[in-house]
Amino acid sequence: MSRIAYALRAGTALAGMGAMAMFAAPAFAQDQNGTTDAAQQGAGTEIVVTGSRIARPDLQASTPVAVVTAERIQQTGASNIQDVLATLPAVGQNVSRTSSNFSNTGNGTATVNLRNLGSSRTLVLIDGRRTLGIAGTSAVDVNNIPTDLVERIDVVTGGASAVYGSEAIAGVVNFVLKNDFQGLRVRAQNTVSDKGDAPRQYVSITGGQNFSGGRGNITANFSYDNDHGLPSRNRSFSSRDIPNRSSYAAQGLFDVSDVNNPNQAGFSPTSGRTFTFDGANNLKGYQSANIDGYNRNGDRLLSVPVERYQGAVLAHYDFSDAFKLYAQGQYTRTNSNASLEPSAIDNVSAGAALNFDGSAYAGIPISSPYVPAAIRAAAVANGVDVIQFRRRSNDIFSRSNKNERDFYRGVIGAKGQFTAGTNWSYDIYYEHSESRDHTTAQSIYTPNYGAALSNEIGPDGQVRCSDAAARAAGCVPINIFGFNTVTTAASQFLQKYTGPTRNVTLIDGNTVQLVNGTNVAFDYLAKVNQDVVSGSINGDLFSLWGGPVAISFGGEYRHEKSSEVYDPFTQAGLSAGNQITNTQGSFNVKEGFVELVAPIVEDRPGIKYLGLEGAARYADYSTVGGVWSFKGGATFAPTSDIRFRGVYSRATRAPNIGELYSSLSQTFPAVQDTCDQGGGEGDGAAIGALPANCRNIPGIANTIANRGSFTYTTSQIQTIDGLLGGNPNLREETADTLTAGAVITPSFFKNFSMTVDYYTIKVKNAIGIVGQQVSVDQCVNTGNPLFCNNVIRDSNGFITRVNAINLNTGSFLVSGIDVDARYAIPVGASRFDFAVQYNHRLKQQQTPFPGGPVQNELGQADCYSCGRLGSGFKDKAVANITFSAPQFQLNYRMDYMGPLTDNLGDPDAQRISAYFYHNLQGKVIVGGKQQMELYAGVNNLLDTKPPVFGDTNQVTWPGTQTVADTYDLYGRMLYVGATFKF
């Protein structure tokens, strides 16, 4: 943050805030800490502007800054700061309560994503200082920001790496806290939907006191926030699976088709070979998923519950002008949980039932005494001796997870002037942050499942497990034919490892120990630590015609360490979820930086102001080595009515720990070999032509010579796997950013200000993966090692593995125009305020690999897991109208999001019309120095529903039937609250 401050001249305060605080609200009554809205202050006001370590009025800054004030935060009715930021046009789609129900970990986390370039490319600061990211990433969970302790939020879009370092490619979000609060402020709010659900309670207590004649202050805040979440079944648009329910039913689905006969389709309602049960557990023929299947949305969530306990203490004491000591301490406890439909188990998919020795499980033997006679007879008639099955695990275990997250942060520092009466000053601090994230869920040991399904009648006439080794380990037979047929004993056996204590070699070469008698549960523990030492010196070098040339220079050292540890069964791939191994890593970086601001001319004929500025930073990472960032900018004001500004910067982002060191995890991608003459159909498929390039691949020519063709069997297709993981050889991302615009403060139009800024950000060497099918196709077509290194073939030319390891392979390009406008109309002792923020996006595109096709996303909706940058709105805006009287305030906010398409490349694409959300809040102020404020509001006044899509549409988030990270899922929300100030 700043070390030098310039005073705004009388008469320019409103213009300054018009350029900088388009989102600011009027504040006629003073807050308890004695501050008022900057637009109401007069001469001598000092404004600290994020985006530079040298503070000066924003009119003289080349980088646009949007400011969200504490008053505006309260006008949204939000208790979570992410909900406030989401209304800004520059903010893209974030991880949030409504988009994280299906995350393995981190349910309910809240991130910030500027310009749709990703949360890892947005740097989040607290009082201008770094805070740590979520495990393995640099994305910050803003759940850890105490809402009522925020004085304002500064949002700088565009590259700011030269000033703040890595991650600032898309920009910076700086939360400025209330460091000098005086008095006591208590706020309580209750929120509920007009349907009586989705309740939220929020209570906050903030107290502060000056001491030693104002030389010191201590401020403390405690808050409690409880968002109870929202089930999918509570809204008509998401209450059921669309278009079809799942064929994995709670009562089971059983098929006796011959898997080796390509003419027999499995699990077909028309084959007569598929069976299920009715509600009374009577055997019946399978009719369809919508009749006999499972409604997964009955168990899912639109919004996960998030409960937060927060405490923060800020203190400072000025021993002298030369030595001012300050300190901060924060703690946040966040509890959250997901709600998912019970796990779907079968005998062929990932996480399927296995034999007791860990081998593939062919199916339920028809000799099992639990097999209904009719199913056994049908199997015998079709010549098969095993039954394929699908079943939901309602009566066995719950895979819904529970999250507990702890966040700690402490800062201690000192600042002051080197010599009294000069403006050479210093600031040095040490920051330590750490977090702990523990996620748990039930699971099963999949080899026990297969063992428990294969049964026989024992010598005592009782059903027992057929495998002798399984019986010795305590195997309990399981009956999955029908609703609620699994006994408690069988369920407990499936959830416990009863085999011998042994070591298992993982896909990354490490080993993990399975201990006899261990409960098989999903268990994830992540820990992150960050230490920062930073110091800077500010001062004036010499004077030019426009004033002194200001400089800021200094250095910073940062060390980060992150670990993500999974339970041994998840690591070994022997539980009912995906196989995931541990990630552990650390890095350090040593940085030096310098910034200059040179006011060339000021208040001269024909030139109101002309200034230049520049900054550079060199960072030496233990991972990628030396990295340079820099920027240069200029401002020019021919008159006081208009000021032109522009800045070019080179921003960087070093790879994070997860991208570098994420351990290998296994997938089974549905890839098709371009060279397969059977067209990916498996056994018995018709033979087609062989693409010319395929004969150049080792092994394929020999296979054709020996067999006459190159065709895959069904087994070969189904067993192609792939590895995902980090890459320690990654390099840094770079971005070229440009912003250019004008600040308009016409003297003939009093109390009006407007900024118009063009921006473009081009990210190169973006870190990501090459899609597994893309690697297969491009390897055959081009022979490029970028793709061929990912494709592993055996000696006969058949693909056995397709990897997707992180690479510096892509590029992103976003550009657009921002317009911010504000107008104030005094009406006696009252005032109307109008504020509009508008973004017109010109480009949003990405190129997945060098020379690859450019993917245009402008006008296209975001998708669940297909890799889009975000919803590419061409137009997005927020408008506020506020009427303020001495004892009353009324605010109206309109959020506008332009039309979108679900898939630009689809001729039958589903169109999404433009969306308007209307929001109101009224507030009554009672009393003078000891005030009480009563307020009430409604968000989404017209109860606007989100667009609805089918489950198979890639824009659909599971359980929501819509683009869950873009549109409102709650509907009309009502809230009331009270604030007491003493």
Span 786-812, pLDDT tens digits:
899 999 999 999 999 999 889 998 899
Give how far Cα 180 sits from Cα of 153, 660, 691, Å: 16, 41, 72
The tokens describing 64, both together, are 């646009």
Amino acid, single-letter form, for residue 433: S
Question: Which residue, 71, 78, 165, 74, is CA-closest to 125?
Answer: 165
* Residue 692 pLDDT: 85
Over 70: is that where the pLDDT of 197 sits? Answer: yes
User: Are the C-beta atoms of 585 and 660 separated by less than 8 Å?
Assistant: yes
Q: How far apart are the first and last CA of the chain?
A: 31
DSSP string, 245-261: -BS--TT-EEE---TT-
* Residue 34 pLDDT: 31
Over 70: is that where the pLDDT of 773 sits? Answer: yes
Tens-place pLDDT, residues 559-596: 999 999 999 999 998 998 878 889 999 999 999 999 99
* Residue 40 pLDDT: 32
* Residue 24 pLDDT: 40
* Residue 817 pLDDT: 97
Q: Which residues contact 883 (CB under 8 A, 6 or more apart)?
A: 830, 831, 832, 833, 889, 890, 891
* Residue 26 pLDDT: 34
Q: How confident is the model at residue 683 (pLDDT cuts 50, 70, 90)?
A: low
Per the listing, tokens 């307020």 go with 935
Per the listing, tokens 């054709």 go with 704
Tens-place pLDDT, residues 207-220: 999 999 999 999 99
The tokens describing 863, both together, are 């998708």
* Mean of the per-residue pLDDT values of the chain: 90
For 491-624, list the strands marked E by DSSP: 496-497, 502-505, 511-514, 518-519, 521-544, 547-566, 583-604, 607-621
Task: State how far the Cα of 333 lies from the Cα of 366, in Å rounded to an integer.
Answer: 52
User: Are the C-beta atoms of 241 and 377 separated by less than 8 Å?
Assistant: no
Give how far Cα 585 sits from Cα of 123, 431, 559, 622, Å: 21, 20, 11, 12
Helix (H) or strand (E) holding 739: strand 733-744
* Residue 441 pLDDT: 95
410 strand-pairing partners: 329, 432
Helix (H) or strand (E) holding 724: strand 722-725
Per the listing, tokens 């937060």 go with 308
Over 50: is that where the pLDDT of 41 sits? Answer: no
Burial of 66 from C-beta contacts in 10 A (0-12 / 13-18 / 19+): buried
Q: Region 716-725: what's the mean pLDDT? A: 82
Tens-place pLDDT, residues 629-680: 999 999 999 999 999 999 999 999 999 999 999 987 777 777 889 999 887 7
Over 50: is that where the pLDDT of 27 sits? Answer: no
Most trustworthy range by pLDDT among 75-79, 301-305, 779-783: 301-305
Over 70: is that where the pLDDT of 21 sits? Answer: no
Per the listing, tokens 């609703």 go with 483
Over 50: is that where the pLDDT of 934 sits? Answer: yes
Tens-place pLDDT, residues 135-152: 999 999 999 999 999 999
Over 50: is that where the pLDDT of 131 sits? Answer: yes
Say if pTM beats, i.e. exceeds, 0.75.
yes
Give the rounded percent of residues in the chain with a pLDDT score beyond 90. 75
Query: Angle CA(36)–CA(41)–CA(44) in degrees, nearest 5?
Result: 125
Over 70: is that where the pLDDT of 127 sits? Answer: yes
The SS3 assignment for 900 reads: strand
Asked whether the bond before 57 is cis by omega within 30 degrees of 0, the reply is no
Half-sphere exposure of 553 (CA within 13 A, CB side): 10
What number of helices (H) and strands (E) belong to the chain?
A: 15, 49
Question: Which residue, 612, 606, 611, 610, is CA-closest to 639?
Answer: 606
Over 50: is that where the pLDDT of 919 sits? Answer: yes
Q: How confident is the model at residue 922 (pLDDT cuts 50, 70, 90)?
A: very high
Q: How confident is the model at residue 540 (pLDDT cuts 50, 70, 90)?
A: very high
Q: Three-state SS across 594-644? A: EEEEEEEEEEECCEEEEEEEEEEEEEEECCCEEEEEEEEEEEEEEECCEEE
Pairing outcome for strands 722-725 and 804-805 = parallel
Q: Region 298-323: what's the mean pLDDT? A: 96
DSSP string, 263-282: TS-SS-TTSS-EEEE-TT--
Burial of 956 from C-beta contacts in 10 A (0-12 / 13-18 / 19+): buried
Over 60: is that where the pLDDT of 57 sits? Answer: no
Over 50: is that where the pLDDT of 12 sits? Answer: no
* Residue 664 pLDDT: 79
User: Are the C-beta atoms of 232 and 959 separated by less than 8 Å?
Assistant: yes
Q: Which residues contact 975 (CB under 8 A, 6 or more apart)?
A: 77, 189, 190, 191, 192, 200, 936, 937, 938, 939
Task: State how far the Cα of 325 lies from the Cα of 610, in Å rounded to an integer.
Answer: 37
Per-residue burial over 588-601, b = 16 or more CB atoms within 10 Å of its CB, e = otherwise: ebbbebbbbbbbbb
The tokens describing 658, both together, are 């997860």
Tens-place pLDDT, residues 487-509: 999 999 999 999 899 999 988 88
